[in-house]
Amino acid sequence: MTNLIGQGMSTAKQTTAFVVILVICFAAAGLGSVATTPNIPTWYATLAKPSWNPPNWIFGPVWTALYICMAVAAWLVWRQGGLRQARTPLTLFAVQLALNAAWSWIFFGFHMPGAAFFEILVLLTAIAATTIAFWPRSVAAGILMLPYLAWVGFASVLNFTIWRLNG
């Protein structure tokens, strides 16, 4: 049986592409954490939060898993024919990744939960569009985006609640 996924691509090329995508995802995470990390024990600690706010320690492991899933999803889409054939879904992926990093700066860096709420709605839309664009190219990629979509949906409600509690 012929493997149509990644057909004609060397293992080295596929591995390199995966590493590059993973680095891009974690670079976005790192950019966001520059704004987030120093503000958690200071500004964020002073905010009123709902009783259902997750403990701070949960965010690191959850986001790490989500970024790995996003990288695998983008790689699976890329494997279906490279950048040229996956231009639209991978462009959507890049847009949502940039919006993800921007949210951290708006919420944590600039201390603007209201503006961050409106930005996260745009992010949520971009994630949904990316998931929809990924699905026909790779069902597995679409499925891998669903936890991220769900988590950002939850984060949107949390962001809104924090904004209202502190507005």
Please list the pLDDT of the chain residue by residue as tens digits (167 residues): 233 455 568 899 999 999 999 999 999 999 999 999 999 999 999 999 999 999 999 999 999 999 999 999 999 999 987 888 899 999 999 999 999 999 999 999 999 999 999 999 999 999 999 999 999 999 999 999 999 999 999 999 999 999 999 98
pTM over 0.75: yes
Q: Give DSSP secondary structure letters for 70-127.
A: HHHHHHHHHHTTHHHHTHHHHHHHHHHHHHHHHHHIIIIIS--HHHHHHHHHHHHHHH
